[in-house]
C-alpha cells in the first residue's frame, strides 16, 4: 500500500524526530511507497518561511522533502477535485481548499492519505485515510 503524507504528518516527523509514531511508520515504509504532493510541499515551505530561523527551517524542510516524489495537481486530480467539491457542496459539508486538492491528488493516484485531520478528510467519499499519530 502506498501513502501520501499530509503536512501535519510531516510536521510531526520534523519536530519530534525518530521517536514519534509518525516517524516510526515513515522509516519502516518501503522506499518508493510514500509520496508528497506539491500542495503539501508548499504548506511546509510556507511554515518554514514563517519560522524564527527561516534559513535553517527551509534547509530542514527541503532536506526532508528531497527523497520523496512530489505529485502535482494534474488533470486526473482536477476530475477528482470537481467530483469531491460538488458532492460536499451539495451536502453543505465543504472542506478547506488545500485539503480538497490534497484529497484529490490522493484519489487520482490511488494513495492512502496519512493525516491527523481525520474529521475533515473522512467526509471525502472513497478516500483511504490513516492517522499515524
Give the CATH number, domain containing residue 82. Answer: 3.40.50.1010
Q: Is the pLDDT of residue 120 over 90?
A: yes
Q: Is the pLDDT of residue 1 over 90?
A: no
Q: Is the pLDDT of residue 48 over 90?
A: yes
Q: Is the pLDDT of residue 17 over 90?
A: no
pTM, full prediction: 0.95
Which residue in 118, 28, 52, 22 sits closest to 14, CA to CA? 22
Q: Are strands 34-37 and 70-71 parallel, antiparallel or unpaired?
A: parallel
Which residue in 36, 52, 8, 11 sits closest to 106, CA to CA? 36
Q: Given pLDDT bands bounded at 50, 70 and 90, which one contains residue 67? A: very high
How many domains does the structure of the chain reveal? 1
Show the domain range for 108: 3-130
Q: Given pLDDT bands bounded at 50, 70 and 90, which one contains residue 18? A: confident
Amino acid at each position: 500500500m502506498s501513502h501520501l503524507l499530509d503536512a501535519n504528518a510531516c510536521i510531526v516527523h520534523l519536530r519530534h524526530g525518530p521517536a514519534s509514531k509518525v516517524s516510526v511508520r515513515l522509516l519502516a515504509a518501503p522506499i518508493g511507497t510514500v509520496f508528497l504532493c506539491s500542495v503539501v510541499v508548499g504548506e511546509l515551505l510556507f511554515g518554514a518561511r514563517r519560522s524564527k530561523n527561516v534559513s535553517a527551517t527551509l534547509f530542514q524542510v527541503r532536506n526532508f522533502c528531497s527523497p520523496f516524489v512530489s505529485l502535482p495537481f494534474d488533470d486526473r486530480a482536477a476530475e477528482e477535485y470537481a467530483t469531491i467539491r460538488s458532492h460536499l457542496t451539495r451536502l453543505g459539508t465543504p472542506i478547506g481548499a488545500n485539503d480538497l486538492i490534497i484529497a484529490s491528488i490522493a484519489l487520482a493516484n490511488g494513495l492512502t492519505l496519512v493525516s491527523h485531520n481525520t474529521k475533515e478528510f473522512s467526509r471525502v467519499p472513497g478516500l483511504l485515510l490513516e492517522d499515524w499519530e
